[in-house]
């Protein structure tokens, strides 16, 4: 029975995804973005494939794309928000426009909240919580949070995932993946954007955000990492009241990091907060390699005693020891004004379709250093320098590796917060010891010797395996048994469209054949006879009309 259901499920998913893609393409064409998907216009109603309306022509492309993302829903809004933080990939005009995207959606009902929590935790709400606020404290596109009180009197924050959101996002991402590969294939001048790679990164990020077990693990990792850090508070989580769709954590009652006037009036030591915040951030980057990747002021709370508390651990980054070393060596080369070495390090920290000319890149890096590092480091305009670095990357079609970018962005946010808390704040004074320590660790003789020994062992193993591999290759080649495996990009998507067209032809052929056969049965009056006509002929006519109706409905649904 199960094997019989497989083709039915596959057929359902095929038509469901096809209809979903058709809806998305319709919105894209309606908003004047059809120029990127001309080869798919047959899937869109004809009235939307005509020229863009005059009012749409007056709007800039970034504005039209932003409005389209809003109309397409939460998944696409989140994609736009992610792109708004990647000025090294898209231009400043797009960053400014996408930054207007708000992750604001109406909350879902308390009945749904109660149903999800009780299903996930396996117990009635009243058995777990003494109190549970029906009104959400916060609502976003993926989840919303409620204030609650456990049976022992502990105040907690319960985060609940929106119903059916995972299914909707997965369907959106599948279509996004196909459309990104379509643009990448048909627009060679846009390949430097590496759209399929961006969509895959977005997919990984949002799937982690959909699994609250990942955020729970991030919080625990962070807590272990800073177990002895008195200046930091990490929210406690309750494993027994948490699942992949429900997260129960400590309620944090403090002053948000973006309420600067309230912080001043509360008597907090702002200079200490700025310095402690910088030390905590740099330890994450250069000592541990695991860091909170979105430390904007709204995600930081200040508690009594000048203690700092990070919230929302859905986005965390990891950077390897090797990447930390490359980044620190690049920073030291910037300070030493060694533009050639900076250019080489930058290439190792980015991804690109085609390596740029090193001399041109070196010249641009030299201009970047002259423009930003001509005076005292404490006077450096960090946001301005980062904007110029991102523009340099765009100029040479380089894209910073995801976690390198997250670290650079988090470092910029930390510097910005430090300067707002303390105008005399100097990130460089905190940064230099970490950079030097990271570089010196790489120069440690014992560590270097161990690394080279491992490389020699790998080389020995590869050389030892080479003769056997060559013998096997030539034996298969001479014996005619050599098998070459290859893959075709977009094969599945191509097969879907191809099979859809073939199915249309098959249905049309079967309908025509059934109609002809039915006519012959009617003429020959093959029994049984009913009202002077062959029953088999009448049934055949009905079947052929039904097949033609299905075919006409499929065609009209696309072409109307």
DSSP string, 381-417: -HHHHHHHHHHHHHHTT-EE-HHHHHHHHHHHHHHHH
* pLDDT of res. 54: 42
**pLDDT given at position 492:** 54
Q: Under a CB-based contact definition with an 8 Å cutoff, are residues 544 and 511 in contact?
A: yes
From the candidates 294, 312, 415, 422, which is the catalytic residue? 294
Note if the bond before 528 is cis, omega within 30 degrees: yes
Both tokens of residue 509? 């052929």
Q: Is 397 exposed, middle or buried (0-12, 13-18, 19+ CB in 10 A)?
A: middle
Q: Which of 303, 312, 306 is nearest to 276 (CA)?
A: 306
What pLDDT shows up at residue 9?
A: 39
Check if 294 is active-site: yes
Residue 450: predicted pLDDT: 47
Successive 10-residue mean pLDDT values, the chain, 560 residues: 42 56 84 77 67 57 88 87 81 83 82 94 93 91 93 94 90 87 82 83 88 94 92 94 95 88 88 92 92 87 92 88 88 86 91 88 91 70 81 88 87 86 83 79 55 58 65 69 57 57 74 78 75 76 80 61
- Going by the DSSP 8-state scheme, the letter that residue 480 receives in this structure is T
CA 123 from centre of chain: 34
Question: How wide is the angle at C-alpha 118 spanned by C-alphas 113 and 120, nearest 5°?
Answer: 95
Give pTM, 2 decimals.
0.71
DSSP per-residue string spanning 79-146: HHHHHHT-TTTS-HHHHHHHTT-----PPPPHHHHHHHHHHHHSS-HHHHEEEE-SS-SEE-SSEEEE
* Structure tokens belonging to residue 204: 């990984």
Q: Identify the three-state secondary structure at position 159.
A: strand
| Helix (H) or strand (E) run with residue 8 in it | helix 2-30
DSSP H helices in 294-381: 321-335, 339-348, 358-372
**Residue 251 carries which DSSP code?**
P
Q: Strand 232-233 and strand 307-310: pairing?
A: parallel
Distance, in Å, from the CA atom of 152 to the CA atom of 468, rounded to the nearest integer, reads 67
């Amino acid at each position: 029975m199960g094997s019989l259901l497989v083709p039915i499920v596959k057929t359902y998913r095929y038509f469901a995804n096809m209809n979903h893609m058709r809806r998305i393409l319709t919105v894209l064409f309606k908003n004047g973005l059809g120029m990127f998907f001309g080869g798919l216009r047959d899937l869109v109603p004809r009235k939307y494939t005509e020229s863009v309306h005059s009012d749409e022509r007056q709007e800039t492309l970034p504005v039209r794309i932003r409005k389209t993302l809003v109309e397409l829903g939460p998944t696409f809004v989140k994609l736009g928000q992610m792109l708004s933080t990647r000025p090294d990939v898209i231009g400043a005009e797009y960053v400014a426009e996408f930054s207007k995207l708000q992750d604001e959606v109406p909350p879902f009902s308390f009945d749904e909240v109660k149903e999800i929590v009780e299903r996930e935790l396996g117990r009635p709400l009243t058995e777990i919580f003494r109190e549970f606020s029906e009104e959400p404290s916060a609502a976003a596109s993926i989840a919303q949070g409620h204030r609650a009180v456990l049976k022992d009197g502990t105040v907690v924050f319960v985060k609940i995932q929106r119903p059916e959101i995972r299914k909707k996002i997965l369907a959106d991402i599948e279509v996004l993946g196909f459309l990104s590969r379509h643009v990448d294939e048909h627009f060679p001048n846009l390949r430097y954007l590496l759209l399929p790679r961006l969509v895959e990164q977005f997919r990984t990020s949002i799937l982690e955000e959909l699994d609250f077990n990942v955020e729970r693990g991030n919080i625990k990792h962070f807590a272990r990492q800073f177990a002895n850090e008195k200046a930091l508070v990490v929210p406690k989580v309750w494993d027994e009241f948490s699942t992949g769709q429900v997260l129960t954590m400590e309620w944090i009652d403090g002053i948000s990091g973006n309420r600067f006037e309230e912080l001043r009036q509360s008597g907090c030591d702002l200079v200490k907060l700025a310095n402690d915040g910088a030390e905590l951030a740099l330890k994450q980057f250069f000592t541990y390699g695991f860091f909170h990747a979105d430390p904007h002021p709204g995600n930081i709370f200040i508690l009594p005693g000048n203690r700092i508390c990070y919230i929302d651990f859905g986005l965390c980054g990891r950077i390897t020891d090797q990447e930390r070393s490359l980044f620190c060596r690049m920073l030291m080369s910037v300070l030493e004004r060694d533009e050639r070495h900076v250019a080489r390090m930058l290439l190792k920290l980015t991804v690109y379709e085609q390596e740029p000319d090193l001399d041109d890149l070196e010249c641009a890096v030299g201009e970047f250093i002259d423009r930003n590092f001509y005076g005292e480091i404490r006077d450096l305009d960090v946001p301005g320098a980062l904007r110029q670095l991102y523009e340099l990357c765009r100029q040479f079609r380089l894209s910073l590796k995801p976690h390198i970018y997250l670290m650079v962005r988090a470092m910029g946010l930390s510097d910005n917060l430090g300067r707002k808390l303390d105008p005399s704040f100097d990130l460089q004074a905190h940064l230099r010891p970490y950079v030097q320590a990271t570089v010196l660790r790489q120069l440690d003789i014992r560590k270097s010797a161990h690394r080279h020994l491992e490389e020699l062992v790998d080389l020995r193993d590869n050389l030892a395996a080479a003769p056997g591999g060559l013998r096997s290759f030539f034996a298969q080649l001479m014996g005619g048994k050599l098998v070459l495996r290859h893959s075709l990009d977009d094969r599945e998507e191509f097969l879907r469209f191809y099979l859809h067209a073939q199915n249309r032809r098959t249905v049309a052929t079967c309908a025509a054949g059934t109609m002809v056969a039915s006519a012959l049965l009617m003429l020959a009056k093959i029994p049984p006879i009913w009202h002077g006509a062959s029953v088999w002929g009448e049934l055949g006519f009905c079947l052929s009309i039904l097949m033609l109706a299905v075919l006409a409905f499929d065609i009209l649904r696309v072409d109307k």
